[in-house]
Amino acid sequence: QVQLVQSGAEVKKPGASVKVSCKASGYIFSDYYMHWVRQAPGQGLEWMGWINPISGGTDYAQKFQDRVTMTGDTSIKTVHMELSRLTSDDTAVYYCARAGTTEIIPPVFDYWGQGTLVTVSS
Amino acid sequence: DIVMTQSPDSLAVSLGQRATINCKSSQSILYSSNNKNYLAWYQQKPRQPPKLLIYWASTRESGVPDRFSGRGSGTDFTLTISSLQAEDVAVYYCQQYYNTPYSFGQGTKLEIK
C-alpha cells in the first residue's frame, strides 16, 4: 500500500533552518512528483512547491523562493524539504503529498504524509 | 496567481439533509485543449491530513461514497453532499491545479445542526 512517512516534530529558534523528510513506499516513485503543503495552527492549506524526485527539478511558490530547498534521494525513495531563516510565522504542520503529472495520473494530492509539526520559538 | 474563494465559511446541516459548498476561482481553470477543469476537493478531519474526494471537478476518487459529488466549470464550482452523515463533519477545501502556484480555498467548516 502507498505510504508517505515523515520525520518527527521539530522545535527551532528564530533564524534557524529545519529539514523535514518524507519516505515513500508502495508505488513507482518515478511516476509522481512530491509536493509540500503547510498548515499553520487553525489555518488553511498553503502550497509550498514540488520536486521531481528523479530529475531533481523543482518549482517553488514565490513566497518561499529564497528560503526553501527541496531535494530527493531516489536510492531510498525519500524527499526532503529544508526551510531556512525561520520565524514564528513558519510554525505549522508540514505535509508531503504525491501528485501525478498527466491526465492518466492527474496532478492531485491523492496520498499525504502524516504531517510534521515545526514549532519556531525563542 | 489564481485566488480560490469558498462560500460559506461555515455551514450547519441536519443529518440526512443536503450540504452544498461553493468555490470560485479568480480566473478560468478550464483547460481548452482537453476540456477539463483543474479543480479538486479535499476533506480534512481534525488532526488528520486532507483526503482527496473529487478531481477534474466532478470525478470521484476511488472509495469515496457516492453521496459526494462535484460540478461546475470555468470559474464556479460546487461540492454537494446529498445526505449528510455524522462522519462528514470536517473542513472542506477546493484547490486549483491549473497552474502553479497551486492554491486552495480558505476552507468551509461543515457541522451538524
Residue A66 pLDDT class (50, 70, 90 cuts): very high
Q: Cβ–Cβ of B102/A35 closer than 8 Å?
A: yes
Looking at the partner chain, which of A44, A47, A109 has a beta carbon nearest the beta carbon of B101? A47
**Cβ neighbours of B107 in A, within 8 Å:** 44-45
Report d(CA A2, CA B97) in Å as an integer.
22
| Averaged pLDDT score across all residues of chain A | 97
- Helix and strand numbers, DSSP H then E, in chain A: 0, 11
Q: With 90 as the cut, is the pLDDT of residue A103 above it?
A: no
What pLDDT was estimated at residue B19?
98
Q: Which range among A71-75, A83-87, A88-92, A102-106 shows the weakest confidence by mean pLDDT?
A: A102-106
Which amino acid is residue B90, in one-letter code? A
Low-confidence ranges of chain B (pLDDT < 70): none
Q: With 90 as the cut, is the pLDDT of residue A67 above it?
A: yes
**Cβ neighbours of B106 in A, within 8 Å:** 44
Beta strands in B1-113 (DSSP E): 4-7, 10-13, 19-25, 30-31, 36-37, 39-44, 51-55, 59-60, 68-73, 76-81, 90-96, 103-104, 108-112
- pLDDT tens, position by position, A19-55: 999 999 999 999 999 999 999 999 999 999 999 999 9
Query: Considering all CA atoms of chain B, what is the largest pairwise distance in Å, rounded to the nearest integer?
Result: 43
Looking at the partner chain, which of A44, A95, A97 has a beta carbon nearest the beta carbon of B106? A44
Which amino acid is residue B102, in one-letter code? Y
Judge whether A67 and A84 are in contact, CB under 8 Å: yes
Chain B residues whose C-beta is within 8 A of a chain A C-beta are 34, 36, 38, 40, 42, 44, 49-52, 55-56, 61, 93, 95, 97, 100-107
**Among candidate residues A51, A32, A107, the one with its CA nearest the CA of residue B34:** A107
How many CB contacts within 8 angstroms connect chain A with chain B?
Answer: 55
**Cβ neighbours of A109 in B, within 8 Å:** 40, 42, 50, 52, 95
Write out the DSSP string of A37-81: EEE-TT---EEEEEE-TTT--EEE-GGGTTTEEEEEEGGGTEEEE
- pLDDT tens, position by position, B71-97: 999 999 999 999 999 999 999 999 999
